[in-house]
Amino acid sequence: ASPAQGTGVRVDGSEAKLDVNKEPDGSYTLVDSTRAMYPRTGGQIRTYDANRKQYTDVAGGPVTDDIPLSTSASDRFDGANTSSGAVDAHLNAAKVYEFYKNRIGRDGIDGKGGTIHSVVNVAANGKDYANAFWDGSKMVYGHMDGVPLSVGLDVVGHEMTHGVTEHSAGLVYLNQSGALNEAISDYFGNAMETADKGVAMSDPKSGLIGEYLCNGTKPLEECALRDLNDGRNAQKDYEPITLDIDNGGVHYNSTIVGGALWDIRKNLDTELADRIIYRSAQNYLTPLSGFTDMRNAVTLAAKSLKVSKADLATIGRAFDDHGIEA
Ligand code: ASN
Ligand code: ZN
């Protein structure tokens, strides 16, 4: 196969240049070989179509042979490649890759330019599977009310950041460490989306997660999955929850830390905030770190980047305001 440029039609109808492969039989596949920071690793961004296969059969381990790459007879990807969510997944994975490369200096999920795999169009017992996840090796996406989860850059960034976290802090996906893992995924997913869309941090909607999945029947604040601006259902104090519910409430308690991190991004230079939060997770967290550890980690990362006294005070206030004391 040889690298080629094609055109993709997103779910919202917009078109974009797509990095694809031309296969020996003349067809085109969603394989982007253009981005690896260290080309010798040959890392690619590959997008596959599960064609409504059961999500539990797709989860875990490498992509199996019965799940084909998203393929088009011509260099235009539309129709089934749009409705499956493949075009959006392929474009958004590249955007996440570029954010980590350009803003952070990280080469992909594993930091070594390894291939990034996304599987779209999974189902749950023949119905829409209204979620997305990182399974330890790849991203997997379903549909919510008919809309592919991969249309949300915040969702794609969230899932890929789970992979980054697995390759670095290794935060255990339970209780406080799990909620912290969630908060870091929410932070980076949403940071990428606001940067990409040019949304001002002062916009009250800047904290919404998953708002691009909304179909207009409800106000965005009600339809979004979460709000890092302490909006609807914001969690105030950490509540221990039994492990059989949401891994100990990892999505329930995550907005406590996510809210603090988003405050930091609102009140510091956004690029500096992104570098501080990334560094805190890379250098100062361990698998069982909790909320107080995160406060300490962010403070240490900020000091190591020689931020101003005023910025340090802002960071302290963000955690104070979310009940995470020094
Ligand atoms: N979308 C969810 C997440 O990535 C799926 C899960 O519960 N792991 O947090
Ligand atoms: Zn998550």
Catalytic (active site) residue 159: yes
Q: Is the CB of 132 under 6 A from ligand 1?
A: yes
214, 297: one domain: yes
Q: How confident is the model at residue 215 (pLDDT cuts 50, 70, 90)?
A: confident
Residue 63 and residue 99 share a domain: yes
- Final residue before a domain boundary, out of 151, 183, 210: 151
Which residue of 187, 251, 257 sits with most ligand 1 atoms within 8 Å of its CB, as the best mutation to test the pocket?
251
Residues 147 and 259 in one domain: no
In which band, very low, low, confident or very high, does the pLDDT at 41 lie, cut at 50, 70 and 90? confident
Q: Does a structural domain hold residue 156?
A: no
Write the residue with the smallest CA distance to atom 7 of ligand 1.
Answer: 133
The answer to whether position 162 is within a domain reads no
**Mean pLDDT score across all residues of the chain:** 96
Identify whether residues 181 and 220 lie together within a single domain. Answer: yes
How would you label 199-208 residue by residue, b for 16+ Cβ within 10 Å and e otherwise? eebeeeebbb
Domain check: are 90 and 220 in the same one? Answer: no
Residue 62 lies in a domain: yes
pLDDT of residue 38: 67
Query: Is residue 220 classed exposed, middle or buried when 0-12, 13-18 and 19+ CB atoms within 10 A define those classes?
Result: middle
Residue 297: left if φ>0, alpha if ψ -120 to 50, beta else—which one?
alpha
Q: What is the largest CA-CA distance in the chain?
A: 62
Whether residue 251 lies in the annotated active site? yes
Q: Do the domain assignments include residue 272?
A: yes
Q: Is there an atom of ligand 1 within 6 Å of 159 CB?
A: yes
Kindly state whether residues 143 and 183 are assigned to the same domain. no
How far, rounded to the nearest angstrom, does the alpha carbon of residue 272 sit from its chain's CA centroid?
19
Structure tokens given for 295: 């406060």
Q: Which residue minimizes the CA distance to atom 8 of ligand 1?
A: 133
Domain count across the chain: 2
Looking at 143, 159, 182, 322, which residue is catalytic? 159
CA–CA separation, 139 and 116 (whole Å): 8
DSSP, res 40: G
Task: Specify if 233 maps to a domain.
Answer: yes
| Residue 209 is assigned to a structural domain of this protein | yes
Q: How confident is the model at residue 280 (pLDDT cuts 50, 70, 90)?
A: very high
DSSP 213: G
For residue 37, is pLDDT > 90? no
For ligand 1, mutation pick of 159, 181, 184 (most atoms within 8 Å of CB)? 159
Q: What's the CATH code of the domain at 123? A: 3.10.170.10
186 and 104 housed in the same domain:
no
140 CB within 6 A, ligand 1: no
Six-digit token string for 101: 């490369």
Q: Among residues 133, 107, 139, 99, which one has the least CA distance to residue 270? A: 99
- What is the Cα–Cα distance from 30 to 137, expressed in whole angstroms? 18
Tell me: do 53 and 182 sit in the same domain: no
Is any ligand 1 atom within 6 A of the Cβ of residue 48? Answer: no
Q: Are residues 141 and 14 in the same domain?
A: yes
- Statement to judge: residues 129 and 194 lie in one domain: no
Structure-block tokens of residue 107:
């080469």
Instruction: Give domain status of residue 194, yes or no.
Output: yes
Boundary-marking domain end, from 151, 167, 198? 151
Ligand 1 pocket, residue 154 CB under 6 Å? no
Residue 164 lies in a domain: no
56 band by pLDDT with thresholds 50, 70 and 90: very high
The residue whose two tokens read 């691009």 is 212
Does ipTM top 0.90? yes
Q: What is the domain range of residue 289? A: 175-321
